Amino acid sequence: MRSPRHRSSRERRCRRILDCAPDYVVVVTASGTIDYVSPVVERVLGYTPGELLGTDAFEYVHQADTEQVRDDFETKLENPGVETDVTYRVRASDGSYRWVEAQGRNYLDNPSIGGILLAVRDITDRKRKIRDLIDERDIRTALQDALASPTSISEFATTVCEELAAIDAVASAKVTLGPPEDSAETFARSSGSPQCDDSSEVEVLSVPVSYDGITRGTLYARATASVDNCERVRELVEECAELLGHAIGDDERRRALAAERWVQFTVTVDSAASPLSRAVDEVGGPVTMTALVPHGDDEALCYLSPEKPSAFASAASETTGIEQVRRAGDERVQAVVTEPIPCNVVTSHGGTIRQAHIESTSSTVVVRFPDGEAFDPVLDALAQRFDDVGIADFTTAAADTDDDSEPLGRLTDRQREVLEVAFRSGYFEKPRPNDATAVAETLDIARPTYDEILRAAQRNLLSELFDGE
């Protein structure tokens, strides 16, 4: 027989083991009253043992799980020698619920225990991981089904947002098209949830909607306050953004090839290293390009409207890659750019510049092509030469759409070039900022040749206008 001192030492050892165990131990009487609970419960649920002793054990069980927990308890009461386990949610001291797995048996006949002994393990993280895997599987299945069905891009984008917002880790989601700016218009969003741009302490994940190196927009996902693995959520959002980018790119490509008259879209690129952006950076104000006349593979005559014409002309004259800088009126500057710029890439693929806005770090260009055949090649060329290429505002025209370039149909390419350079250089203005000699020099042709081509261009243009009445 062991001495009382030896038993006391053994009990202390058992308590230390219980204190260090990951699970907490609880003894419940036949009536469901908590008779003993190990100190570990404070680490798991936030209660001290003293707060739980004498209380009803079922009081802390989630209402939806109460029936199965009572059934398991009755099984233990009726079968003293059988060990059973049950999984349920238990309320913590902060009001939240933790998933636990309780395993034990009936020791009511054991005088040293006198109750139902349970070892309770917190499995909240395991449950969350399983739920996340199920959510990810469901999202992938839903998006693949949506892609296979004849839905519009806006409907598919909405499906992406709704599926993301349906998982516990995401409160809301939205998609914007074009550059990731605060003023970007929302293309699709999840319903019945807070806006992604609401001020909040939780993280808002933003992922480019890209395909083949071309960015179409941005997918935003607002994480919930309870998310504990934002990296895993980000991976899922990135996967959804890639799938959406593929869908948008494929739709644009299909529409471009089906276009009967023209294709138009807005391109934004990182042009910080290009000559015009470097000149803009020196001056500190953006520049609008009103026209561009190609002079070679990487050379172009550009007509520009800077916010500060004199300062820009001075800065451009000192910038490597810009030559023959001249004033073309009070508000305009003309210059020959000898290094690649986005506009030159577009025109070299048969496109025309509808509008171009150049800043110190980026260039935004509205381009138009007579058909969709050049859509993929020009995007590939831009992606090879520039970083952060994005497109937006994709539109096409039917065969019966009016084309405002039709009056120039009788002009040869050379006549059109001479006429455009003369017009952009202010030759037809009074007073003329550039006379015939200056325009001919810009075109690198003799003055008599310039006069002859200009007269022929004017004659053909007037014939087109008046003979067509």
Query: What single string gives the DSSP state of each residue in 192-241?
Result: SS--TTS--SS-EEEEEEEETTEEEEEEEEEE-TT-S-HHHHHHHHHHHH
Residues 113, 9 share a domain: yes
Are 300 and 356 contained in the same domain? yes
Distance of alpha carbon 409 from alpha carbon 363, whole angstroms: 30
In order of 36, 109, 356, 420, 446, the CA distances from 113 in angstroms are 9, 8, 83, 99, 111
Q: Quick check: 320 pLDDT over 80?
A: yes
Looking at the fold, whether 64 and 210 belong to one and the same domain comes out as no
- How much is the average pLDDT of 383-393? 86
CA 252 to chain centre: 18
Output the CA angle 296-302-304, nearest 5 degrees.
Answer: 170
315 and 400 assigned to the same domain: yes
For 38-65, the pLDDT digits (tens) are 888 998 899 999 999 999 999 999 999 9
Answer whether residue 70 shows pLDDT above 90: yes
- The pLDDT value recorded for residue 197 is 46
Poorest-confidence range of 111-120, 236-245, 405-414, 420-429?
A: 405-414
- The residue length of the chain stands at 469
Same domain? 246 vs 353: no
Note the pLDDT of residue 65: 92
Confidence at residue 3, expressed as pLDDT on a 0 to 100 scale: 43
- What pLDDT score does 193 carry? 52
For residue 396, give the H/E element and its range. strand 387-397
Please name the helix (run of DSSP H) or strand (run of DSSP E) that holds residue 381, with its range, or none. Answer: helix 375-385
pLDDT, position 429: 79
Q: Which of these three, 227, 258, 289, is where a domain ends? A: 258
Pick from 208, 205, 221, 220: nearest CA to 248: 208
Q: What is the mean pLDDT of the chain?
A: 80
Which of 215, 239, 258 is the endpoint of a domain?
258
The count of structural domains within the chain is 3
Q: Say yes or no to pLDDT of 171 above 90.
A: no
pLDDT score of 6: 45
Over range 149-172, report the average pLDDT: 81
What is the pLDDT confidence band of residue 454, given thresholds at 50, 70 and 90?
confident
Lowest mean pLDDT among 79-83, 248-252, 404-408: 404-408
Mean pLDDT of 142-171: 77
Q: Is 231's pLDDT higher than 80? A: no
Is residue 139 predicted with pLDDT exceeding 80? Answer: no
Least confident range from 30-39, 254-263, 371-380: namely 254-263
C-alpha dihedral (286, 292, 295, 300), degrees to nearest 10? 10
Q: Tokens for 146, please give them.
A: 């949506």
Residues 342 and 429 placed together within one structural domain of the fold: yes
Q: Which residue has the tokens 């949506």?
A: 146
Looking at residues 158-166, what average pLDDT do you find? 85
Q: Read off the pLDDT band of 204 (50, 70, 90).
A: confident
Global pTM reads: 0.58
CB 283 within 8 A of CB 306: yes
Q: For the chain, what percent of residues have pLDDT higher than 90?
A: 16
Q: Kindly state the helix (H) or strand (E) to which residue 362 belongs, with its residue range.
A: strand 362-369
Same domain, 97 and 191: no
pLDDT (0 to 100) of residue 1: 42
Examine the domain organization and report whether 320 and 418 are in the same domain. Answer: yes
**Same-domain status, 294 and 392:** yes
Residue 203 has pLDDT above 90, yes or no: no
> Which one has a higher pLDDT value, 439 or 49?
49
Q: What is the mean pLDDT of residues 15-24?
A: 62
H/E stretch holding 312: helix 309-317
237 and 299 part of one domain: no
User: So what's the pLDDT on residue 67?
Assistant: 93
Q: Which range (77-91, 124-138, 210-224, 401-415) has the least confidence?
A: 401-415
Q: Which of 79, 99, 122 is the last residue of a domain?
A: 122
pLDDT of residue 90: 93
CATH number of the domain residue 210 falls in: 3.30.450.40
What average pLDDT does this structure show over 271-277?
Answer: 90
Is it the case that residue 111 has pLDDT exceeding 90?
no
Same domain, 84 and 134: no
Whether residue 317 sits in one domain with residue 192: no
Q: Report the pLDDT averaged over residues 111-136.
A: 80
| pLDDT score of 402 more than 60 | no
pLDDT of residue 183: 64
Over residues 372-393, the mean pLDDT reads 84
Residue 5 CB neighbours (<10 A): 8
Q: Letter for the amino acid at 288?
A: T
Residue 346 has pLDDT above 70, yes or no: yes
Average pLDDT, integer, range 208-217? 84
Report the CATH number that the domain containing residue 15 is assigned in CATH.
Answer: 3.30.450.20
Domain that holds residue 147: 128-258
Task: Indicate the helix (H) or strand (E) that contains 255.
Answer: helix 230-258
Higher pLDDT, 375 or 279: 279
